[in-house]
Amino acid sequence: MTNDAVGRELIEDGHTGLLFRSGDVVDLSVKMESLIMRPEWCRQLGQAAQRRSFEIFNEERNISQLLLAYEHLLNPSTRGGRTCP
């Protein structure tokens, strides 16, 4: 994934995937070659990324964040904004 891409919360460079500099073909090719040359490490990165995605994108967390968003919309005082008299 490029180092400026959306979804960076999922990728921890070297632990759940690899980041490369956007537009840098050489950096991308070096990262790809390292994955090809180390298939077990590639599998480990994939498994770690899967675990991380289950932590981030689970039903309970999504519902909690959705409810919080509705709470902020329905109750302006929770946003720190001003209310109308």
Concatenating the DSSP letter of every residue in 10-75 gives: T--BTTTB--B-TT-HHHHHHHHHHHHH-HHHHHHHHHHHHHHHHHHS-HHHHHHHHHHHHHHHH-
Domain contains 65: yes
Domain contains 21: yes
| pLDDT above 60: residue 81 | no
- How confident is the model at residue 43, as a pLDDT? 98
Domain contains 85: no
Look at the pTM and tell me if it is higher than 0.75.
no
Domain contains 44: yes
- Number of domains making up the chain: 1
pLDDT digits (tens, 9 = 90+) for 48-68: 999 998 888 888 888 998 999
Q: What confidence tier does 15 reach under pLDDT thresholds 50, 70, 90?
A: very high
CA distance readout (Å), 83 to 25, 32, 76, 80: 52, 53, 6, 9
Domain membership of residue 59 as a residue range: 1-80
For residue 17, the cross-strand partners are: 13
Domain contains 38: yes
